A and B are shown apart, each in its own frame.
Chain A
Amino acid sequence: MSAVLTELWPYFLMVIVGYLPNEAWRAFGLILARGLNEDSEIVVWSRAVATAILAGVIAKLVLFPTGALAAIPLLLRVVASVIGFVVFLAVRRSVSAGVLAAEAALLIGAFLLVP
């Protein structure tokens, strides 16, 4: 019984703390779609908060990684991110070009530096 529970627990969490809080915003948007426009102040503020959270997640994944990425030195992870972002800006804000450049920088650097 407890083994089954242990196995189902992550699925239960997915629904309760993942699916429901996320879906609530969509349902809320559907209900209130008539009232608000994209430029209203509360929408601008909530978008800024959402962007900052996402940025926090990004920075944590690069600076405090787990598993295999942690084996690659911190400085190399940061330098590769900066190279990727500069290429992204240079190639007409192309997401694919930026991601490819960051990956190339990280893997070449790791291949040369990590024993």
Chain B
Amino acid sequence: MSAPIAFSSSSAAFFAGAKTALTSVFMLVLAGTYIGIGALTHDFGLSSWWLAISTVLVWAAPAQVILITTVTAGAALFEIALAVTLSGVRLFPMVVALMPVLRGPTTRLRDLLLPTHFTAVSMWVESLRLLPAIENQWRIPFCNGLSAGYMATATAFGFVGFYLAAGLPPLLAGGLLFLTPMSFLMSTARNARMMVDKLGLVFGLVIGPLLTHLDVSLDLMWTGLIGGTLAYLVHRVREAAT
């Protein structure tokens, strides 16, 4: 195994992380996703600054899409909070898996607060891939730089999507709105390595529209609980059978 990568200072590690973010494949995926979300924001009558602040504060594309599509549609606050809460569950195991990689012998809890807030699919996948090769003391600044690079990309392209949607002919604006579901679909499918995750995706795709069609209230919550639990039960039965 080669010697761990070291930096001369924390800021050097931070900028190396930011540079990695701006040259990675996730940069394209994030740009596409946030152009789509920018267009969606425009479509639902929210402001471009609302989107920028939500990108920095919420920093989770699925939760932001739920917020955008429900806040102005007059959904019950309880339902929005519940849908966001359920969509954020995946952040919990990500943080749990990431912290042991970031934590060194002298790490203080407050050094981990920023990486915790930054945790999202893109940064998580790249952090787990890149951090083990870096010397322990530089991992947190590198991770912060990487995350800041992704967050800046997302914020900037949110504005791009918002103003494109405002000025484009309807057909192309429709194409922009199509970016969000497509980039979610492909990146979720790519992250679904285990059978239980693949089943969760398929069940959700079928049950979600079915419940919407039947006009069931709290449809997203039920989609998650029914689809996810079904997927989990199939997974348990298969495990028991082998």
Contacts and interface: CB of A to CB of B under 8 A. Distances in A.
A52 B223 contact: yes
B34 to A, nearest CB: 13
A49 B229 contact: yes
Interface residues of B, number: 104
Interface in A34-69: 36-38, 43-69
Interface in B37-71: 39, 43-44, 46-47, 50, 53-54, 57-60, 62-67, 69, 71
B70 to A, nearest CB: 9
A38 B93 contact: yes
B174 A53 contact: no
Contacts of B224: 49-50, 52-53, 56
B178 A80 contact: yes
A30 interface: yes
Given A30-B112, A36-B96, A85-B185, A21 B204 contact: no
Contacts of A48: 196-197, 199-200, 227-229, 231-232, 235
Contacts of A66: 43-44, 69
Given A59-B208, A63-B209, A106-B178, A52 B203 contact: yes
A99 B96 contact: no
A77 B177 CA distance: 11
B171 A114 contact: yes
B16 interface: no
A22 B63 contact: yes
Interface in B197-222: 197, 199-209, 211-212, 219-221
B49 to A, nearest CB: 9
Contact of A54 (B54, B58, B62, B194): B62
- The prevalent SS among residues of A at the interface is helix
A51 B177 contact: no
Interface of A: 10-11, 13-19, 21-30, 32-33, 36-38, 43-72, 77, 80-81, 84-85, 88, 93, 95-96, 98-99, 102-103, 106-107, 110-111, 114
23 contacts: A10-B72, A13-B80, A14-B54, A22-B59, A24-B85, A25-B88, A25-B92, A46-B92, A47-B197, A49-B227, A51-B201, A51-B204, A51-B228, A57-B181, A61-B65, A64-B212, A67-B174, A69-B174, A71-B174, A81-B181, A93-B190, A98-B186, A107-B175
